[in-house]
Amino acid sequence: MTPTRALLALSITALLGLTACTRQPSPDDSRPGAPVATAPDGETADEFIARVNREYKAMYPELTSAQWLSSTYISEDSQRLAAKANERYLGQLNRWIEQAKRYEGQQMSPETARAIRLLKLSTAMPPPKDPAKLTELTEIATRMEGMYGAGEVCTGEGAARTCKQLGDLEDVLRSSRDYNEQLGAWRGWHTISPPMRQDYTRFVELVNDGAQNLGFADAGEMWRSGYDMSPAEIAAETDRLWGQVKPLYEQLHCYTRTRLQAEYGADKGAAAGGMLPAHLLGNIWQQDWGNIWDILAPYPNAGSLDITTALDAQYQQAYAKQIAQAGAAVATPAVLVEAEQAAKLANAKQMTERAQDFYVSLGMPKLPESYWTKTQFIKPRDRDVVCHASAWDMNMEGDVRTKMCIKPNEEDFTTIYHELGHVYYYLAYNDKPPIFQQGAHDGFHEAIGDTIVLAMTPQYLQSIGLVGEQQQSNEALINAQMRMALAKVSFMPFGLMIDRWRWGVFDGSITPANYNKAWWDLKAKYQGVAPVDARGEQFFDAGAKYHVPGNTPYTRYFLSHVLQFQFYKALCDASGFKGPLYECSFYGNKEAGQKFQAMLSKGASQPWQQTLKELTGGEKMDASAVLEYFAPLQTWLTEQNEGRTCGWQASATPAASSVPAPAPAPAAAPPARSKPAAG
Ligand code: X8Z
Ligand code: ZN
């Protein structure tokens, strides 16, 4: 996620803090950049935006610090401070937006008009005007994120009690091929979210209130307003783009079902209606199927692209080194635990240096020293943290960080490249006015690192010693394409369905009484995925996906999965590459790097269509580069699926059990107290 500035989109939940004390800012507040309570008389629109930019930048570090602490040290105290900082920021945002009304209908420069528009859209959590409601909203938001971060599944009693956190359950889906063990892990993680249901229901009411104050029909319409086109147009664009990719996804789905049935048997390998069983795809949310490579590999003997084994070997080496350094004291459990933690950290840094090296090879700068000292690379042992990966710009002037719980596996390795994409975007636009320090649109921000991931070809992986000598054969090509498709193509319908659900929740077409049914109906419709047994309204399965309690809009990831192929193609062209698209890596190419950097440095200072045109020559998002890239795989899949009945029956999702949704809390009830997540 990306604490994208103005967007503050992230669950970084648009926070900005003022000072630690609670005094109201006043016009004679002498702190540089302190917000003024009332706008000076006669202030022009240009002066107004210049002031907002100053005030925004001045209050930003306190907001990000509070949020950083609450994400890297989940406790009642850190959550209280994060909620308060958020509340102060959102209150200030409301005041700025109120002040901006003076300029409605007036002549002003296009740049200022754009800044005012962006200011109104600068949070994914539109704040209610009523101070009590604002307090309630920020408390709920912080609490839900804390509940997700501290989520764990415990079994047994007394001394036999053991607890598993998300990372442990993900390990089960990654490694176990035992049907019931995977089902247990999948179900286990989904027990963390029913307690969020009531909070989420209220959260929706509160952000809708905020969105309506800003003139939007609901929060979903506000989210859809950030694309330099109308909300209806961007919704139609996502349909159009999905229509381009859907035939490819359907082939991949069909092939995957056949392989799952070969592995688990005809009955267990498919769910109702020919859908894929939600717990068998190697990922809790079925958004990336790369972990079941062992089941899906087209040609297991055509050379290995298994980088997880290589990364694990690298970790083992780091561990052996730590043990050797510990010398004679080795035997005590405490020393072994320390050695393990030190080896994890050393290995995580090594993986991150590798990712940095790609960006540096394009001519981008090395990350600042403070990045290496302030980043959270691995999961600490002594406290709960939000492990979901994110990239942070703490102060708009170089204090950039990432927050992850890195493990030595392929998924985390590519996620580091993804996160550094955000970081390099931050650094590239840091000299723009703060309101323009965002992605051209949020899908651009998500696509930067992933564009680099597309350039991580088998040859690149070989050059950095993560895979061995590569065969030049059609089998090897299909393997490489499949590896990429399991990360990219399988993601696309997931990327779409999350906000189809939230748009419906925000506009009221999905009610709390139908939250779970609507969730699984959309999973069925877009992904062709189903749970193996009924998931009635006693569950809240949407809440088990980080971005729902974290309130991070998700359409950005769908758009990113289209855009990254357009960016990749443009950078391949810039590098002078002439072969088939899927063979291109622009590693080390300074021309490609310059073009990329030019785009990044624009931030949100102009409509994204213009920024896209400068990079690719075209002004539209378009999935034809996705199809061009995967052309060999699509042909191969079609051959493999010949004679099979493909597709699925979305209406076959197991009927919800008769347990109704929990009764909604009375509207006026105070928010439930935050359960201390730690400490
Ligand atoms: O949330 C993320 C990134 C941070 S912006 C790790 N992603 C989405 C997810 O994990 O659900 C990247 C791909 C999709
Ligand atoms: Zn991201």
What's the gap in Å between 554 CA and the centre of ligand 2? Answer: 10
Q: Is the CB of 415 under 6 A from ligand 1?
A: yes
Contacting residues for 243 by C-beta, under 8 A, at least 6 apart: none
Confidence of residue 4 (pLDDT cuts 50, 70, 90): very low
Residue 593 resides in a domain: yes
Q: Looking at the predicted structure, is the pLDDT value of residue 28 above 80?
A: no
Q: Is the CB of 389 under 6 A from ligand 1?
A: yes
Beta bridge partners of 154: 163
Confidence of residue 35 (pLDDT cuts 50, 70, 90): confident
Q: Which atom of ligand 1 is nearest to the CA of 285?
A: 11
Q: Is the CB of 283 under 6 A from ligand 1?
A: no
Question: pTM of the predicted model, to two decimals?
Answer: 0.93
Rounded Cα gap, residues 245 and 240, in angstroms: 9
What average pLDDT does the chain have?
92
What's at 453, amino acid-wise?
Answer: V
Q: Are 492 and 245 in contact (CB under 8 A)?
A: yes
The percentage of residues in the chain with a pLDDT greater than 70, rounded to a whole number, is 91
664: left (phi over 0), alpha (psi -120 to 50) or beta: beta
Contacting residues for 204 by C-beta, under 8 A, at least 6 apart: 219, 505, 506
Residue 147 is predicted with a pLDDT of 97
Q: Known catalytic residues?
A: 419, 547
Q: Is the CB of 347 under 6 A from ligand 1?
A: no
What's the gap in Å between 313 CA and the centre of ligand 2? Answer: 27
Among protein residues, the one with the nearest Cα to ligand 1's atom 1 is: 1
Instruction: For residue range 264-276, list pLDDT tens digits in order.
Output: 999 999 999 999 9
Q: Which atom of ligand 1 is nearest to the CA of 390?
A: 4
- Proximal ligand: closest to the CA of 546: 1
Q: Which atom of ligand 1 is nearest to the CA of 10?
A: 5
Does the annotation list 446 as a binding residue? yes
Instruction: For residue range 601-623, list pLDDT tens digits in order.
Output: 999 999 999 999 999 999 999 99
Q: Is the CB of 249 under 6 A from ligand 1?
A: no
Beta bridge partners of 393: 400
Residue 51 resides in a domain: no
How far apart, in Å, are the Cα atoms of 31 and each of 1, 37, 199, 297, 397?
32, 13, 37, 61, 19
What residues make up the domain containing 304?
Answer: 289-489+554-640
Q: Is the CB of 557 under 6 A from ligand 1?
A: yes
Confidence of residue 657 (pLDDT cuts 50, 70, 90): low
Q: Is the CB of 554 under 6 A from ligand 1?
A: no
What's the gap in Å between 541 CA and the centre of ligand 1? Answer: 18
Residue 515 is predicted with a pLDDT of 98
What's the gap in Å between 419 CA and the centre of ligand 2? Answer: 6
Residue 78 resides in a domain: no
3-state secondary structure of 36: coil
Q: Tokens representing 201? A: 């229901």
Residue 664 is predicted with a pLDDT of 53
Does the annotation list 441 as a binding residue? no
Does the annotation list 381 as a binding residue? no
Which residue of 418, 451, 494, 560 sits with most ligand 1 atoms within 8 Å of its CB, as the best mutation to test the pocket? Answer: 418
Residue 321 resides in a domain: yes
Instruction: For residue range 156-174, list pLDDT tens digits in order.
Output: 999 999 999 999 999 999 9
Residue 607 resides in a domain: yes
Q: Tokens representing 675? A: 């359960």
Which residue of 388, 410, 546, 561 sits with most ligand 1 atoms within 8 Å of its CB, as the best mutation to test the pocket? Answer: 388
Among protein residues, the one with the nearest Cα to ligand 1's atom 3 is: 1
What's the gap in Å between 671 CA and the centre of ligand 1? Answer: 29
Q: Which atom of ligand 1 is nearest to the CA of 388?
A: 6
Q: Looking at the predicted structure, is the pLDDT value of residue 96 above 50?
A: yes
Q: Are 143 and 13 in contact (CB under 8 A)?
A: no
- Proximal ligand: closest to the CA of 11: 1
Helix, strand, coil percentages (3-state) for the chain, rounded to 5, are: 60, 5, 40
Residue 162 resides in a domain: no
Q: Tokens representing 62? A: 């306190």
Q: Is the CB of 285 under 6 A from ligand 1?
A: no
What's the gap in Å between 302 CA and the centre of ligand 1? Answer: 31
Residue 375 resides in a domain: yes
Instruction: For residue range 280-302, list pLDDT tens digits in order.
Output: 999 999 999 999 999 999 999 99
What's the gap in Å between 671 CA and the centre of ligand 2? Answer: 31
Average pLDDT over residues 333-350: 95
Residue 627 resides in a domain: yes
Give the number of domains in the chain: 1
Rounded Cα gap, residues 529 and 546, in angstroms: 19
Residue 173 is predicted with a pLDDT of 98
Q: Is the CB of 604 under 6 A from ligand 1?
A: no
What's at 433, amino acid-wise?
Answer: P
